[in-house]
């Protein structure tokens, strides 16, 4: 199957089964926005919670945050985003449609890595590269990607604000607050999950490149006087990123690639960057990043605001500006990686099926509970009792009594439910041809192997606890 076909199938499954819908769909949509339905938000929450647990709850050196999306415009001047957060754009002279110059070069098998605006311009002219519609292109220019708004009743330059293009700055401007409230010792980190907005010229590839996105970011502050330990911490944070992808999300190792970014291609603030790329159905692309931002941001805010953002080392009685290492994760891209890695088509019991082999930790539901037959009240009653017990404990449990058992399995396979429980006459201990040893036990069917085991109802909570 072509990879592009897989992508189409994933998008269609997401819509049909209630994971992800096009934003504002009944009005024809709004490009670069997507709405998460009941199963999508369940998957997203699980990923966020695993991240928060690994990077905040399980550590003593991490401080959680939730900063406002709207910030004083001076923040974005100081951070360099007003002046520099831009993409190289080129316009089709006939249709006036705009394209990313670097993307057009890539489409023409030219690697834009390390090229300046002038370099791109020169190559486009020299090779006679045209727009996708075959028309001549204008000059390559910078285009600022921040979404601008005004705050308050008066529209004036003083009231300009921006929908934040990254969550990071919310942490830098609260650095002093956290230091004053908690007196943390270096190294320590601040962590935040939240929305960010980028006016991408060409949103595409489903939730991969969007205009309203979610980031999970950490600003980890280190002592710059010991560069050996800074390097060690950088490597440890990279290892933590990998553990999150492999152990928490269950992503396939062979699809994950470490990419060292060379100096020309790094963001203006970074002294060392390592991106992690993933084999998405449309190619190997950036999933998350790790950047050594040095003291760039704290210095910039200190100079612009006048606030003292230094750190005082009690043991050496020295005062200095800490350096910062930033692990950043795009939540939407993690969701897409998880979905595309899990998507399989195979055959089971002589029938072809679509199955999402999601790790039980991230799957929207841990299990589905059903009675063998819908029209038997005694089976319904027992199945509902099992369901209520599990629902109370895990939340992520669904009751499904539609159609026959085979159809229910297919439906649950398609949304990635790892286990299906069936309550039958053996469970009740009534009827002909029953196995008396199976009383008060249920059938638990495994999504990936189709294997069925008989488990005592009293043991179910332990059984699932061991698997999530
Ligand atoms: P790209 O090169 O793909 O535009 P970037 O290098 O600009 O990404 P960063 O500024 O490092 O990205 O942002 C941190 C993370 O936020 C990225 O690793 C990615 O996961 C996510 N991200 C950035 N832009 C988008 C977007 N438009 N849509 C979805 N996720 C995004």
Fill in the DSSP letter of residue 315: T
Atom in ligand 1 nearest the alpha carbon of residue 208: 29
Reported as a pLDDT band with limits 50, 70 and 90, residue 2 is low
Give the C-alpha separation, 62 to 190, whole Å: 6
The residue contributing the CA closest to ligand 1 atom 29 is: 209
The residue contributing the CA closest to ligand 1 atom 3 is: 286
Q: What share of the chain is helix, strand, coil (3-state, %, to 5)?
A: 40, 30, 35
**Ligand 1 centre from 287 Cα, in Å?**
8
Residue 446 has pLDDT above 90, yes or no: yes
Residue 390: Cβ within 10 Å count: 22
Give the C-alpha separation, 129 to 286, whole Å: 26
Residue 320 has pLDDT above 70, yes or no: yes
Name the residue of 84, 112, 204, 213 whose CB sits within 8 Å of the most ligand 1 atoms, as the mutation to test its pocket. 213
Q: What is the CA radius of gyration of the chain?
A: 26
Find residue 90's DSSP bridge partners.
99
Residue 62 has pLDDT above 90, yes or no: yes
Q: Average pLDDT, stretch 331-339?
A: 98
The residue contributing the CA closest to ligand 1 atom 9 is: 289
**Ligand 1 centre from 114 Cα, in Å?**
18
pLDDT in tens, 190-202: 999 999 999 998 8
**Ligand 1 centre from 131 Cα, in Å?**
25
pLDDT in tens, 200-255: 988 999 999 999 999 999 999 999 999 999 999 999 999 999 999 999 999 999 99
* CA contacts within 13 A on the Cβ side of 206: 26
The residue contributing the CA closest to ligand 1 atom 21 is: 330
Residues whose beta carbon lies within 6 Å of some atom of ligand 1 = 198, 200, 209-210, 213, 215, 286-289, 328, 330, 332-333
Question: Please, what sign has the CA dihedral across residues 451, 457, 462, 465?
Answer: positive
The residue contributing the CA closest to ligand 1 atom 5 is: 286
- Kindly report the pTM of this predicted structure: 0.91
Both tokens assigned to 270: 């970074």
pLDDT at site 431: 86
The residue contributing the CA closest to ligand 1 atom 8 is: 286
Question: Please, what sign has the CA dihedral across residues 219, 222, 227, 232?
Answer: negative
pLDDT in tens, 390-412: 999 999 999 999 989 999 999 99
**Ligand 1 centre from 208 Cα, in Å?**
9
Residue 379 has pLDDT above 90, yes or no: yes
pLDDT at site 125: 92
Residue 298: Cβ within 10 Å count: 24
**Ligand 1 centre from 402 Cα, in Å?**
41
Residue positions counted in the chain: 468
Residue 217: Cβ within 10 Å count: 25
The residue contributing the CA closest to ligand 1 atom 14 is: 328
Reported as a pLDDT band with limits 50, 70 and 90, residue 88 is confident
Strand order in the sheet with 86-91: 98-100, 86-91, 141-144
Give the C-alpha separation, 382 to 467, whole Å: 24
Give the C-alpha separation, 23 to 38, whole Å: 15
**Ligand 1 centre from 289 Cα, in Å?**
8
The label of the residue with tokens 């201990």 reads: 429
Q: Locate all alpha helices (DSSP H) within 21-127, ordered by sequence.
A: 38-52, 73-78, 81-84, 101-107, 117-127
**Ligand 1 centre from 165 Cα, in Å?**
10
Residue 1 has pLDDT above 60, yes or no: no
Give the C-alpha separation, 175 to 113, whole Å: 34
- Picking from 53, 48, 54, 49, the residue whose alpha carbon sits closest to that of residue 240 is 54
The residue contributing the CA closest to ligand 1 atom 10 is: 166
Atom in ligand 1 nearest the alpha carbon of residue 203: 27
Do the Cβ atoms of 344 and 447 come closer than 8 Å? no
The residue contributing the CA closest to ligand 1 atom 19 is: 330
**Ligand 1 centre from 406 Cα, in Å?**
41
- Picking from 460, 431, 429, 433, the residue whose alpha carbon sits closest to that of residue 444 is 460
Q: Which stretch of DSSP H or E encloses residue 189?
A: strand 188-197
Q: Is 368 helix (H, G, I), strand (E, B) or coil?
A: strand
- Picking from 409, 403, 407, the residue whose alpha carbon sits closest to that of residue 447 is 409
Do the Cβ atoms of 361 and 468 come closer than 8 Å? yes
Give the C-alpha separation, 285 to 199, whole Å: 19
In the chain, the domains with their CATH numbers are 3-70+165-339 (3.30.930.10), 365-465 (3.40.50.800)
Q: Average pLDDT, stretch 67-73?
A: 97
| Mean pLDDT of the chain, nearest integer | 95
C-beta pairs of 263-266 under 8 Å, 24+ apart in sequence = 264/113, 264/114, 265/113, 265/114, 266/291
Find residue 353's DSSP bridge partners.
346
Q: Average pLDDT, stretch 265-284?
A: 91
The residue contributing the CA closest to ligand 1 atom 23 is: 330
Q: Average pLDDT, stretch 439-468?
A: 96
Residue 349 has pLDDT above 90, yes or no: no
Reported as a pLDDT band with limits 50, 70 and 90, residue 302 is very high
Atom in ligand 1 nearest the alpha carbon of residue 210: 28
Q: Locate all alpha helices (DSSP H) within 306-421, ordered by sequence.
A: 331-342, 377-394, 405-415
Residue 449: Cβ within 10 Å count: 8
**Ligand 1 centre from 96 Cα, in Å?**
26
Close Cβ partners of 282 (under 8 Å, ≥ 6 residues apart) = 3, 4, 7, 205, 208
The label of the residue with tokens 């970011």 reads: 217
Residue 22 has pLDDT above 70, yes or no: yes
Question: Please, what sign has the CA dihedral across residues 146, 147, 153, 155?
Answer: positive
pLDDT at site 84: 75
pLDDT in tens, 152-177: 988 888 899 999 999 999 999 999 99
pLDDT in tens, 353-368: 999 999 999 999 999 9
**Ligand 1 centre from 330 Cα, in Å?**
6
**Ligand 1 centre from 451 Cα, in Å?**
41
Please state the φ and ψ torsions of residue 244, each to the nearest 5 degrees. -60, -45
pLDDT in tens, 102-142: 999 999 999 998 888 889 999 999 999 999 999 999 889 88
């Amino acid at each position: 199957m072509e990879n592009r076909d897989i992508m189409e199938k994933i998008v269609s499954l997401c819509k049909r089964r209630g994971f992800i819908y096009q934003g504002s769909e009944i009005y024809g949509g709004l490009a670069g926005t997507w709405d998460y339905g009941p199963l999508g938000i369940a998957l997203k929450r699980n990923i966020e919670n695993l991240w928060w647990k690994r990077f905040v709850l399980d550590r003593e050196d991490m401080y959680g945050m939730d900063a406002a999306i709207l910030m004083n415009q001076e923040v974005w001047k100081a951070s360099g985003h007003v002046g520099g957060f831009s993409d190289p754009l080129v316009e089709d002279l006939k249709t006036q449609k705009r394209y990313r110059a670097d993307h057009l070069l890539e489409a023409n098998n030219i690697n834009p890595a390390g090229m300046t605006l002038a370099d791109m311009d020169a190559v486009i002219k020299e090779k006679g590269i045209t727009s996708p519609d075959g028309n001549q292109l204008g000059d390559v220019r910078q285009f600022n990607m921040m979404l601008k708004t005004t705050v308050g009743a008066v529209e004036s330059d003083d009231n300009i604000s921006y929908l934040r293009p990254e969550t990071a700055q919310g942490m830098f401007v609260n650095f002093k607050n956290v230091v004053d409230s908690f007196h943390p010792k270096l190294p320590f980190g601040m962590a935040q999950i939240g929305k960010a907005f980028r006016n991408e010229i060409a949103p595409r590839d489903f939730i991969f490149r969007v205009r309203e996105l979610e980031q999970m970011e950490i600003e980890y502050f280190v002592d710059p006087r010991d560069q050996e330990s800074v390097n060690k911490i950088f490597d440890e944070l990279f290892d933590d990123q990998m553990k999150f992808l492999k152990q928490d999300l269950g992503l396939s190792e062979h699809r994950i690639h470490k990419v060292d970014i060379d100096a020309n291609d790094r963001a203006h603030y970074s002294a060392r960057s390592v991106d992690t790329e993933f084999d998405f159905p449309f190619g190997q692309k950036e999933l998350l990043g790790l950047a050594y931002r040095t003291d760039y941001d704290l210095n910039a805010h200190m100079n612009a605001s006048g606030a003292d953002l230094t750190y005082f080392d009690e043991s050496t009685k020295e005062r200095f500006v800490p350096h910062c290492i930033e692990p950043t994760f795009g939540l939407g891209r993690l969701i897409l990686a998880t979905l595309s890695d899990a998507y399989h088509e195979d055959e089971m019991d002589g029938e072809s099926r679509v199955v999402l082999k999601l790790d039980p930790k991230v799957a929207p539901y841990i299990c589905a509970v059903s009675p063998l037959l819908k029209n038997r009240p005694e089976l319904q009653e027992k199945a509902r009792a099992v369901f209520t017990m599990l629902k109370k404990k895990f939340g992520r449990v669904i009751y499904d009594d539609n159609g026959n058992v085979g159809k229910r399995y297919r439906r649950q396979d398609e949304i990635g439910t790892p286990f299906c429980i069936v309550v039958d006459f053996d469970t009740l201990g009534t009827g002909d041809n029953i196995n008396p040893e199976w009383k008060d036990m249920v059938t638990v069917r495994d999504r990936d192997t189709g294997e069925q085991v008989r488990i005592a109802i009293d043991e179910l909570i332990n059984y699932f606890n061991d698997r999530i």
